[in-house]
Chain A
């Protein structure tokens, strides 16, 4: 069998559009899971029992249900009770909620690993609760959390391919269309493999750089 990638050239702009959509969804969902995850991590480490309980239920629920089921529930289930959300928004929200559950886990362990005396020093210096969190707790937790968070984010990018099942023509969605148009699934999916591998590799480079930056005081010890 001969592999002829030139066959795909006319479809490249279309697939590029899909890739761009994937990038958009992922960037938004990444920010979304970071915000949701940070908030939920705060809730799960708070002194308020009710808040802690509620946040744990959230994390357990969304970690233990297949993503595609969550997605179908939002996209095909909610309209039954009168809630309509477009595919793009549904995708971003669903990924943020699911990603947030895993991110909250990672940030929570980062917070629990902080030497309590460091937080106490910030408290007695007169910083408000929110300042203690934004200036000390979160950045110190991130020093240990960035790397595991990187794995969560890469998973999020991979999971975004599932959005093609709710009519969103992101990278995987466009690939499916091109494959059936050209009857060349091998070539199409080779390109897709490379595209996802490149995307996640770039993210892992970014995470490594961020990890070095956050731990720059430790110099060569961190790689």
Chain B
């Protein structure tokens, strides 16, 4: 369970997260929607410990991310996929995938490599395992990014606009993989602008506005005229997104 309670985050004089409560239970796919600058990335970065909280608390399976010792445990339980991929440029696709299993989980190298190759094969990259990031297309890089996160067998997958840097064709490839993961029961916190896709894979949708989590509803209700759409800001946001 990921539990965020009254989370506050301040940059200088700007309050970026203002009392956010969010719970993600195993098996759920929770999509986070909201316009640019509403605090979606910051919320993800608070969950994986890249930002320090200015108030409230976040626990991942009861491990408090604000405590350095517990953060290490919390981080083993969640995997992050980034908008800009952030692959290690000096390592091959396979090395990117096996680094953490070997160094953090102390898995034997041969085992980690066999699993890494299988993971890469499952996203259509069997023959690119030994390529470096600079030799891969954006879509291929992001698929490696997903494998790198999955290789740690995380209970929770945190995804921050993972298709925003990709063209439509590559976006479709990556979304297919995420749909498959969702079907297999992978727990996901999914920040996205792909509204229609979010609608098909999410169990819940939350809406952030200026650092406040204003709506948290089961997907069907979120998109219902008397549910989330009753909120004029959400209706406006969705119609704008669909036009783009």
Chain A: residues with CB nearer than 8 A to chain B? 115, 117-118, 120-128, 131, 135-136, 139-140, 143, 214, 216-218
Give 19 new A-B contacts, CB below 8 A, not counting A121-B80, A140-B90: A115-B86, A121-B86, A122-B99, A123-B50, A124-B50, A124-B78, A124-B80, A125-B99, A125-B104, A126-B100, A126-B104, A126-B152, A127-B100, A131-B103, A140-B89, A143-B89, A217-B134, A217-B135, A218-B134
Nearest Cβ on chain B to A86's Cβ, whole angstroms: 40
Chain B's closest residue to A121 (CB) is B86
> Nearest CB to that of B100 among chain A residues?
A125
Task: Contact check, A127 vs B133: say whether CB atoms are below 8 A apart.
Answer: no
Task: Decide yes or no: A117 and B89 within 8 Å by CB, A125-B100, A126-B100 being known contacts.
Answer: no
Name which residue of chain B comes closest to A215, CB basis: B90
Interface members, chain B 67-100 (any A CB < 8 Å): 72, 75-76, 78-80, 82, 84, 86-90, 99-100
Contacts of B76 in A (CB 8 A): 126
Choose among A124, A140, A218 the residue that contacts B88 (Cβ–Cβ < 8 A): A140
Interface range on chain B (Cβ under 8 Å from partner) = 20 to 34
CA distance A130 to B148 in the complex (A): 20
Query: A135 contacts which of B50, B75, B99, B149 (Cβ < 8 Å)?
Result: B99
Distance between B126 CB and nearest chain A CB, rounded to angstroms? 19
Q: Could you say which residues of chain B place their CB within 8 Å of the CB of A143?
A: 89-90
Distance in angstroms from B230 CB to nearest chain A CB is 37
Residues of A within 8 A of B133 (CB): 217
Residue of chain A at shortest CB distance from B145: A121
Q: Does B223 contact A (CB under 8 A)?
A: no
A-B contacts, CB under 8 A, total: 69
Q: Smallest Cβ distance from B47 to chain A, in angstroms?
A: 10
A123: nearest chain-B partner, CB-CB: B50
Residues on A with beta carbons closer than 8 Å to the beta carbon of B86: 115, 117-118, 120-121
User: Lowest 7 A-B CB distances belong to which pairs?
Assistant: A217-B132, A117-B86, A125-B100, A121-B86, A126-B104, A126-B75, A124-B48
* A118 CB contacts on chain B under 8 angstroms: 86-89
27 sample A-B contacts, Cβ–Cβ < 8 Å, listed by A number: A115-B84, A118-B87, A118-B88, A120-B50, A120-B82, A121-B82, A121-B88, A124-B50, A124-B75, A124-B78, A124-B80, A125-B75, A125-B99, A125-B100, A125-B104, A126-B72, A126-B75, A126-B76, A126-B104, A126-B152, A127-B100, A127-B104, A135-B103, A139-B90, A214-B90, A217-B132, A218-B134
B49 at the interface (CB under 8 A from A): yes
Q: Are A117 and B82 in contact (CB under 8 A)?
A: yes
Question: Residue on A with the closest CB to B131?
Answer: A217
Q: Which residue of B lies closest to A125 (CB)?
A: B100
Q: Determine if B88 and A217 form an interchain contact, defined as CB atoms under 8 angstroms apart.
A: no
In contact, A127 and B132 (Cβ under 8 angstroms): no
CA distance A187 to B79 in the complex (A): 68
- Who on chain B is nearest to A219 by CB? B135
Beyond A127-B104, A217-B133, is A122–B88 a contact (Cβ under 8 Å)?
yes
Q: How far is the CB of A57 from chain B (nearest CB, A)?
A: 29
- Give every chain A residue within 8 A of B50 (Cβ-Cβ): 120, 123-124
Q: Which residues of B contact A123 (CB under 8 A)?
A: 49-50, 75
Output the least CB separation between A215 and chain B (Å). 8
- Closest B residue to A218 using CB positions: B134
| Interchain CA distance A135-B72 in the complex, whole Å | 18
A211 vs chain B, min Cβ distance (A): 13
Q: Which residue of A lies closest to B95 (CB)?
A: A135
Complex contacts, A122 vs chain B, CB 8 Å = 88, 99
Q: Which of A117, A139, A140 contacts B84 (CB 8 A)?
A: A117
CA distance A127 to B48 in the complex (A): 13
Residue from A117, A120, A126, A216 having most chain B Cβ neighbours under 10 A: A126
